[in-house]
């Protein structure tokens, strides 16, 4: 479990590699998006964001799950009963399930003028490139509970013991603060198929205080 959480923490760092410079290039070094009162900072990029749809198996998992609230951040997820709390702090929320599966959430406060549109575009472009490189299985723009973001699923890694992740990053305004939400489900690669319905059911169950 410790190695999985360490890998998860590393992934949160690695996902930013090369993104910062790209955002600056796309935004001219300055941001024009300010925090709003809505669930997500206003987007003017013209991109179409899909919304989650659940299979019957995923819907069944959600229907039988328990709602777990992160009161400090006004967010909740529906987790299967076997999932247990590992670590919850002001900006991190970690639960674990069978086979050492994990839900790893990190919130990063951003400046009010952070270029949200450019950042999402950069994440999407990077994900598409990773698909071309065979590192990701799929990627798309996805809106969860009114929050616009980018979702991707990693392709099977070389090692069966290596972690494999299903991840989503989005931006919202909450209590006057602009935030980046990094939500990731992960498990050892050889157990990923066992959670192919559970991970989407968990990710797409996210509800946030408006």
Domains defined along the chain, listed by start: 2-208 (3.40.1000.10)
Percentage of the chain beyond pLDDT 70 is: 79
The per-residue pLDDT for 37 is 32
Query: What predicted TM-score, i.e. pTM, was given to this entire model?
Result: 0.82
d(CA 118, CA 26): 6
Q: Is the per-residue pLDDT at 12 higher than 80?
A: no
Q: Is the per-residue pLDDT at 75 higher than 90?
A: yes
**CA dihedral for 192, 134, 19, 173, sign (positive or negative):** negative
Q: Is the per-residue pLDDT at 9 higher than 90?
A: no
The per-residue pLDDT for 104 is 98
Backbone dihedral region for residue 53 (phi beyond 0: left; psi -120 to 50: alpha; all else: beta):
beta
d(CA 187, CA 102): 6
Q: Which of helix, strand or coil describes residue 142?
A: strand
Provide the pLDDT confidence category of residue 46 given band limits of 50, 70 and 90. confident
Q: Taking residues 41-50, what's their average pLDDT?
A: 68
The per-residue pLDDT for 90 is 96
Provide the pLDDT confidence category of residue 42 given band limits of 50, 70 and 90. very low
Place of tokens 């674990």: 96
Burial of 150 (0-12, 13-18, 19+ CB in 10 A): buried
DSSP-derived letter for residue 195 is G
DSSP-derived letter for residue 45 is S
Residue 136: beta bridge partners? 154
Q: Which of helix, strand or coil describes residue 110?
A: strand
The per-residue pLDDT for 198 is 98
Q: Taking residues 86-114, what's their average pLDDT?
A: 96
Q: Which of helix, strand or coil describes residue 49?
A: coil
């Amino acid at each position: 479990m410790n190695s999985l959480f360490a890998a998860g923490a590393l992934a949160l760092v690695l996902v930013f590699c090369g993104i910062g410079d790209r955002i600056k290039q796309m935004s001219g070094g300055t941001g024009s998006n300010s925090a709003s009162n809505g669930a997500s900072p206003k987007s003017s990029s013209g991109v179409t964001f899909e919304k989650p749809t659940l299979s019957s198996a995923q819907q069944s998992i959600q229907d039988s799950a328990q709602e777990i609230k992160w009161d400090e951040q006004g967010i909740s997820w529906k987790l299967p009963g076997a999932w247990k709390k590992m670590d919850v702090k002001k900006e991190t929320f970690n639960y674990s399930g069978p086979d050492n599966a994990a839900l790893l959430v990190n919130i990063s406060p951003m400046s009010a003028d952070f270029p949200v549109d450019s950042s999402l575009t950069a994440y999407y472009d990077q994900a598409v490139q990773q698909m071309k490189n065979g590192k990701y299985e799929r990627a798309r723009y996805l809106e969860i509970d009114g929050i616009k973001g980018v979702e991707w699923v990693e392709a099977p890694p070389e090692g069966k013991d290596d972690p494999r992740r299903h991840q989503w990053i989005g931006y919202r305004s909450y209590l006057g603060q602009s935030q980046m939400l990094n939500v990731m489900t992960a498990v050892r690669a050889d157990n990923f198929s066992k959670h192919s319905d559970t991970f989407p059911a968990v990710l797409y169950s996210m509800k946030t205080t408006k």
